[in-house]
Amino acid sequence: MRTTFASLRFYNYRLWFFGAMVSNVGAWMQRVAQDWLVLTVLTHNSGVAVGLVTGLQFLPALLLSPWAGVLADRFNQRRMLMATQAASALLALGLGLLVVFGHVELWHVYVFAGLLGCATALDGPVRQTFVAALVPPASLPNAVGLNSASFNTARLIGPAVAGLMIAWVGTGWVFLTNSLTFVATIAALLLMRQRELAPNARAKRLPGQIREALRYVRGRADIVVIMVIAGVVSTFGLNFQLTTALMARTEFNRGPGEYGILGSVIAIGSLSGALLAARRKNPGVRLVIAAAFGFALATAVMSFMPTYLLYAIACIPVGFAALTMMTAANATIQITTEPAMRGRVMALYMMVFMGATPIGSPLVGWIG
């Protein structure tokens, strides 16, 4: 256990870990509420509409990530994170008020999803690389694994809480609750001991910085392989919030509570994978490839499950394989990339990983 949670001995990382966990619980609650609102209130079980909302939320990652990576390498990452978290909180508040007062329409959700996607696109590369300022280089693989554990602990809690809140008080209050959870991350950033933050290598302000990152990636066959795998799996496989909504609603005729539970069950496997990842000191490309094959097999098995209970049980190995692949990919790229290039390379990775969703989600929604 000491090995698994080793990075928590650092004060700044400890603040970040727990602050991010609270914020991630709210983010997962909003994802569930958003999809359920579109699927059951604003449309009549339209998988296409849910797919479009998901696609709009991730489209900015495809368009903005390279520039977000440049900003992550150039500017103060702590201040950037406070700005993106504040913007996300205001967007959740705005959508929540529209829903609570009964004025929400489908196009409102599309707009808010796109704007939230812009904030997330700017936040992602900074969030991924900021962890290197919180721990020594030797502790970075453990810190990346614990970040995933925090994210998936939140995923274990958030969907289930959201499902219950939707059933009891409606989707609007879920959005409002999420707006409050961003305060935890902002507070953690404000309370950090700045003298203990390891200064990240800053990139100079020069023309052609994105092209420089592309040349760097092209010269690294291992990173290219990871990005190809991540892009394919993200496009066609990592659409859980869409597929579980369709399965719960249309295949098994279940309500929001059961839909939320499916997200939490996936997180059981994901959290297990994250905790194991935190113990690995040297993840690599082979682990990414093996986990991708495991994900394909587990997803195929899940697709044949004839009942809600069996489908839920089959979600566990799917979550485990997916998280193992994602954590190994993330840690391998961060550890092996030059510090001054890390933000831009991680931004390109996230552009491939998250930017594939706008392509995959509408397609999977249409198939569904």
Give the CATH number of the domain where residue 87 resides.
Answer: 1.20.1250.20
At 224-234, the pLDDT tens digits run: 999 899 888 88
Q: What total number of domains does the chain contain?
A: 1
pLDDT band at 89 (very low <50, low <70, confident <90, very high): very high
Distance (Å, whole) CA 234 – CA 83: 28
Residue 1 lies inside a defined structural domain of this protein: no
pLDDT for position 114: 92
**Which residues lie below 8 Å from residue 209, measured CB to CB, with a gap of 6+?**
70, 73, 203, 344
Specify which of 102-116, 195-209, 266-280 reaches the highest per-range mean pLDDT.
Answer: 102-116
**DSSP single-letter state for residue 170:** -
Single-letter amino acid code for the residue at 330: N
Q: Which long-range contacts (CB under 8 A, 24 or more apart) does 293-296 make?
A: 294/320, 294/321, 294/324, 294/325, 295/233, 295/237, 295/321, 295/322, 295/325, 296/237
Lowest mean pLDDT among 48-52, 61-65, 254-258, 277-281: 277-281
**Residues 229-246: what's their mean pLDDT?**
82
Torsion angle of C-alpha atoms 9, 126, 336, 192, degrees rounded to 10: -20
Distance (Å, whole) CA 126 – CA 85: 12
Question: What are the angstrom distances between the C-alpha of 234 and each of 58, 73, 132, 337?
Answer: 11, 25, 25, 22
pLDDT for position 110: 94
pLDDT for position 200: 63
Residue 82 lies inside a defined structural domain of this protein: yes
Residue 185 lies inside a defined structural domain of this protein: yes
**Residues 249-267: what's their mean pLDDT?**
79
User: What residue numbers bound the domain in which 72 lies?
Assistant: 6-367
In contact, 32 and 263? CB cutoff 8 Å: yes
In contact, 344 and 209? CB cutoff 8 Å: yes
Q: Does the pLDDT at position 190 exceed 80?
A: yes
pLDDT band at 83 (very low <50, low <70, confident <90, very high): very high
pLDDT band at 267 (very low <50, low <70, confident <90, very high): confident
Of residues 118, 110, 116, the one with CA closest to residue 42? 110
Distance (Å, whole) CA 270 – CA 257: 20
Distance (Å, whole) CA 248 – CA 240: 11
Helix (H, G, I), strand (E, B) or coil at 232: helix
Distance (Å, whole) CA 143 – CA 134: 9
pLDDT band at 172 (very low <50, low <70, confident <90, very high): very high
Q: Does the pLDDT at position 42 exceed 80?
A: yes
